[in-house]
Amino acid sequence: MPVVTTSKRGQIVIPRDVRKQLRIIPGKKLLIKTEGDHAIITPLPDDPVEHFCGIFSGKPSLTKALLEERRRKESMKQKRVLDSFALLTYLNGEAAVEKVRKLLAEVQRTRQSAEAAHTGNLLLMNEITVGETYYILSRARSTEKADYFLETILPGFHYGSCKRL
């Protein structure tokens, strides 16, 4: 393994055998990357555009992956998440209660219709939301009120791990 010495200006001479092996010629651009306490020198392609053409061929399609991601994002635009803040606003009758009430009423109307299944117009809520709401209710109001929420109000929501309401 060759050892080189740096000049006063920090320059090094890459040994001829290494230059030949890596096809480094005068004017060749090199990428120098540090990893921990050492440097890695990598020759850059002469024509980066041509070099990267088809670099991932033979592997799963990136175009398909992009289209699937876009479809997933589009379907999520039609879904809404009922978080503990919205649920507590509704239960406490605070300023945004009408917005939450309207959302819940819309879900109730579309729940039995085929429209909800086709449009993905869903309201999602998970166990963390339920647990957080229960905890806050029990601490701020009483355990009895929190139990009432779980036993009476909550079954109408059909909560679950991001299940449809």
Domains of the chain, by residue range, sit at 16-52, 71-164
For residue 121, what pLDDT is reported? 52
For residue 113, what pLDDT is reported? 58
Q: What separation in angstroms does the CA of 84 have from each of 77, 81, 138?
A: 20, 10, 14
For residue 33, what pLDDT is reported? 95
pTM, rounded to two decimals:
0.43
Question: Taking the alpha carbons of 158, 160, 164, 165 in that order, is the dihedral positive or negative?
Answer: positive
For residue 16, what pLDDT is reported? 94
Q: Average pLDDT of each block of 10 consecutive residues along the chain (165 residues)?
A: 92 94 93 94 90 86 88 72 86 87 76 52 75 91 89 61 40
CB 126 within 8 A of CB 136: no
